[in-house]
Structure formats: structure tokens, C-alpha cells
Amino acid sequence: MVSSTTTGLGVRLLIWILAVAVITGGLSCRSDSARAVFEMRYIFEVNVPAGLNTFNFHQLVLQNKETGIDFFLEQNNLEFEDISAINTSFARLTTLLGDEDLSMIDEIVIDLFKPDNRDLNFEAAYTLQIPIRRIDRVQLIPSITNLKEVLGGQQFDVVMHMRFRSIPPRNFTAVLEMGFEAFREGG
């Protein structure tokens, strides 16, 4: 026979688990009124020089990249005012030839800037901790920053901040792929 105390604890634990699941499930869903109307994808080559130290963040800058916003708006019969938000959907860094070990990188943060205002950065993606095993691709975590202000212009700058776990032994080229979803309020 099971005591009422044990049964009571089990029921309370089950209720607590269900409450947490409902709350976190509700918080993770996007609003039903906002839907992605298009995705803007970009691919950039990044040259990483050899010999960068492990103490500082190093900035790899890509300047004056075209947003293509007018093309995306025209293809979807939208005006810029129809867009409520532009959010990062994915970001990843891959070695160009698959021959470099990206586990030498400890941390990556990607910021976007307007070309005419380098004082205001918009975080697009970041890493928490890159695994210490041989990898040739790093998946970054999309930020929740609304990037409409920076990607609504004709051009933008990308700054990839990298801190290394070990010193890169030689120059290598990596490919930075990023996607951004544009959202529209309503149906």
C-alpha cells in the first residue's frame, strides 16, 4: 500500500512539471499575429590570419555588404513599413575546404552595423561554448535582436568577434552563412 504522503508528493511533482511545460511551451511560441514573409540569406568569405593570440577578441570586419532589401520587398509585394521585425534565423561558420579544425575557436559574436554609424551595434548571433573536438562547422545561436533598423538600409557591415582557444597555425578561409527572417504583423 502507498502512503497518502507519497501519493501527495507525486501528484504535486506531476502538477509542477506540467505547469513548467505549459509555461515554457507558451513562451517559446511566436505570436500568432506575426509570420515570416521572407528570409534574407547571405554568404561571406572570412579570411582568418595565422598567429592570433588567445587573450583578446579579434575583430574580422566585412564592410559595405548589400542587404538586397528592395529586391525582397518587391518579390513579396511589400513596403518596408509592412515589416515589423527582422530576426536572425540561423548563422554558421564553416571551413571553406573542410580542412581546418574550428575547435581552436573558443567564442564567436557577430555584430551588424550601419555603415554610417559604427557606434551602435546590433548583435546577430553568438556561440556559448564551442566543443573541444575536431569540427569544421560551428552553429551559432541567433540573437533575439530586431535587426530591422540595420538590415532596412541598402548596406550593412558585419563584425565577427573571435576569441581563440589555441593560436591558429596558418591562415585559413571560412564561410559565414547567415539568414534573417522578416516578419509582418497580422495575416
20-52: pLDDT as tens digits: 444 444 444 444 456 899 999 999 999 999 999
Q: Which residue has the higher pLDDT, 128 or 143?
A: 143
CA 31 from centroid of its chain's CA atoms: 20
Residue 183's nearest CA partner among 88, 91, 86 is: 86
Instruction: Quote the pTM value.
Output: 0.78
Per-residue pLDDT, averaged over 90-117, amounts to 91
- 8 Å CB contact between 90 and 108: no
- What percent of the chain has pLDDT above 70? 80
Nearest Cα neighbor of 180 from 138, 160, 152, 139 is 152
Instruction: Return the SS3 of 148.
Output: helix
Q: What is the pLDDT of residue 186?
A: 67
pLDDT (tens digit per residue) in 108-120: 999 999 999 888 8
**Average pLDDT for residues 85-112, to the nearest whole number?**
92
Smallest CA-to-CA distance from 106 within 57, 71, 147 is with 57
